[in-house]
């Protein structure tokens, strides 16, 4: 199962319709991300089963984003030792 994240419910609804028309099972819910206390600011999370290449293609068409992969982020460049003048 894969999860797709949205800021707007309209975008999520469009993807739900497209996925269900192709036979995917979907579940749409609201989820508060870190620091969000206002209900209106909560994001939308769409669970898709099965999540395959076609589902990912539809995500690209209808918007939304996927979580990153599990690989660690690359090492950032070193910071300067002294302030720039």
Domain spans of the chain, in order of start:
2-66
pTM listed for this prediction: 0.69
Residue 48's pLDDT is what? 94
Instruction: Tell me: cis bond preceding 50? Omega within 30 of 0 counts.
Output: yes
pLDDT at 18: 94
User: Can you name the CATH fold of 2-66?
Assistant: Alpha-Beta Plaits (3.30.70)
Nearest-angstrom CA–CA distance, 66 and 40: 21
Please give the Cα distance from 33 to 31 (Å, whole number): 6
Q: What is the reported pLDDT for 23?
A: 95
Question: Which segments of the chain have a pLDDT < 70?
Answer: 33-41, 69-71
Interval 17-39: pLDDT, tens: 999 999 999 999 988 766 666 66
User: Rounded to 5 degrees, what are φ and ψ at 69?
Assistant: -80, 175
């Amino acid at each position: 199962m894969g999860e797709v994240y949205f800021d707007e419910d309209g975008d999520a609804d469009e993807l739900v319709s497209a996925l269900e028309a192709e036979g995917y099972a979907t579940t749409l819910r609201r989820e508060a991300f870190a620091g969000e206390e206002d209900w209106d600011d909560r994001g939308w999370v769409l669970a898709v089963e099965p999540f395959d290449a076609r589902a990912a293609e539809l995500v690209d068409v209808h918007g939304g984003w996927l979580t990153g992969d599990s690989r660690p982020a690359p090492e950032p460049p070193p910071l300067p030792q002294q302030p720039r003048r």
